Amino acid sequence: MKRPATMALALAVFASPFWPANGAQAQVGDAPRFALRLEAGPVWQSRNDVRIPNETGSEFSLVDLIGSGPYPGYRIYASYDLSRRHSLRLLAAPLTLSGTGRLAEPTEFAGTTFQPGVSTDGRYRFNSYRLSYRYLLHDGARWRWQIGFTAKIRDAKVELEQAERSASDSNVGFVPLLHVSTSYRLADTWRIVADLDALAAPQGRAEDFALELARDLSRSWTVAAGYRTLEGGADVDAVYTFAWLHYLTVSAEVRF
């Protein structure tokens, strides 16, 4: 748990001087409680290593096979403030990367041997669905901090196909994550926003971190642009997969 724990601790330590003894409460009242947000932008992969099965398969790079990108990506958020300090957030983040290339050497994947130097289609799916509980730790004139937990459903699949053969490996699983988010108000309508879902264990890790510049157009509308990185994978008996993805994002949020 070293990497995500260190990131969360660094955020907390950096923010600690701004926490008052009696934290201000968010004023929900007649303020909008629902929010919908659409985020989209290009995605690049700098790492995507696969070995399936872990013990007997051949390790290969999907970056080398299908390229680094860019690929299209998007995600949708829906959030609801239960009260002044408690809120829920839903996320749907489908993602598929695909392309055609040639393997450098014979590759054992999911019980099938793929030949080198032959046109090979590669496909990587990593759909993420999450429910986050968030507690408002601090809401001041400049800083706003939320902490909580995220329940993530991961729908992953890797597939290779040549003219005469194909093989795939898919997995749907539950992943618990820690959540930290913060914003710093630069001016009346401008904010820097950071958001992190992360956790690690001996079997693998998952980290999703975003840093954005946001502008409030009105009480109901906010637009933002920034950078997101998604990194992690699993190292278990059945599979070895680790990927590192990079997003340039633009988003629009409406509150009602």
Residue 51 lies in a domain: yes
Query: How far is residue 110's CA from residue 158's CA, in Å, rounded to a whole number?
Result: 10
pLDDT tier for residue 177 given thresholds of 50, 70 and 90: very high
Query: How far is residue 191's CA from residue 173's CA, in Å, rounded to a whole number?
Result: 35
Residue 241 lies in a domain: yes
Residue 71 lies in a domain: yes
Residue 166 lies in a domain: yes
Burial class (CB in 10 A: 0-12, 13-18, 19+), 56: exposed
Would the pLDDT of 209 be above 50?
yes
Residue 70 lies in a domain: yes
**pLDDT average, residue stretch 178-184:** 98
Render pLDDT for 237-251 as a digit per residue (tens, 0 to 9): 999 999 999 999 999
Residue 32 lies in a domain: no
Query: Which residues form the domain of 142?
Result: 38-199+235-255
Residue 226 lies in a domain: no
CATH code of the domain containing 59: 2.40.160
Query: How far is residue 7's CA from residue 184's CA, in Å, rounded to a whole number?
Result: 17
The residues with which 97 forms a beta bridge, in sequence order, are 124
Total structural domains within the chain: 1
Residue 101 lies in a domain: yes
Query: How far is residue 193's CA from residue 185's CA, in Å, rounded to a whole number?
Result: 9
Render pLDDT for 29-72 as a digit per residue (tens, 0 to 9): 567 899 999 999 999 999 999 999 999 999 999 999 999 999 99
**pLDDT average, residue stretch 138-161:** 97
Would the pLDDT of 10 be above 60?
no
**pLDDT average, residue stretch 219-244:** 96
- Are 16 and 52 in contact by the 8 Å Cβ rule? The answer is no
